[in-house]
Amino acid sequence: MNGFLTPKEINECMVTSGKAKASLPIGKMLLLGIFAGMYVGLGAYGFTIVTSGAGSGFEATLAKFIGAGVFPVGLMLIIFCGAELFTGNCTLTLALAKKEITLGSLLRNLTVVYLANFVGSVLLAWLLFKSGLYSGEAMAAKAIGIAEAKTAIPLLPIIIRATFCNILVVLAVMMQAGSKDIIGKIFAIWFPIMLFVLAGFEHCVANMFFLPIGLFLGADITWSQIIINNLIPVTIGNVIGGAFVVPGVYYYTYLRTNKEAINAASDPVIAATAE
């Protein structure tokens, strides 16, 4: 008996999961979304701890790798303990394409979860700021540096980085769904998430923590810069990668039935578009 699902089975599993997520009551979406924002923020806090004391050159690269290795704990908590993460929920487009959910239910889930992720992330940032854990000069300087650097990234590069980020995030979600044991799920989550952090890609929910904690500590940024310079373009890129690129390819490859293909070919509008 295989310890993992086939790619087609994984995608079918994501459709079933998407249907369940879209039908959650708003109250549960909010609570689980707040928890997810805090879980990702804890991973981001761990990353800051590891990298705050590093120097330059190879030492900084090694510290970044170790920090990137700590960060995936956030998604592990979300998957294993149960929470709702905006970037992972972008795969609900698979259920939409299979007509298992409506566009309205998809937008309802993503909107509520996004706002809840924001609340959870900012709440954790404020609590950690008040805790005194950032009182050390190195920790504060690292958090401030991260926040100021993220708000200074130009528009096109930040969208590209965000697109690649959520390609890796949704692949991690799909890979863990394909594993039938906890150890397999841990490794399936760890490698893609570690890679996106190490690569310097941009994750909107992680930035909901990184940017406010930097602001609270005195970074030379404003809330409008946080939202306009970073969160909006990063969210756009995350949606492109996680809701369209990966689900689009895998829907076409594994979920689109012959009947759907025949209907599409016979539809004059689709046929004209294809030509």
Q: CA-CA distance, 78 to 76, in Å (whole number)?
A: 5
Contact assessment for residue 37 and residue 209, using Cβ atoms and an 8 Å cutoff: yes
pLDDT along the chain (275 residues), means of 10: 87 97 97 98 97 83 94 98 98 97 98 98 98 93 97 98 98 96 96 97 98 98 98 98 98 82 52 44
What is the set of domains in the chain, with CATH numbers? 7-132+142-256 (1.20.1080.10)
Q: CA-CA distance, 227 to 148, in Å (whole number)?
A: 13
Q: What is the pLDDT of residue 268?
A: 53
For 210-231, give the DSSP string.
Answer: HHHHHHHTT-S--HHHIIIIII
Contact assessment for residue 63 and residue 189, using Cβ atoms and an 8 Å cutoff: no
Q: CA-CA distance, 172 to 20, in Å (whole number)?
A: 19
Q: What is the pLDDT of residue 56?
A: 77
Dihedral pair phi/psi, residue 229, rounded to 5°: -75, -25
Q: CA-CA distance, 198 to 51, in Å (whole number)?
A: 12
Q: CA-CA distance, 255 to 267, in Å (whole number)?
A: 19
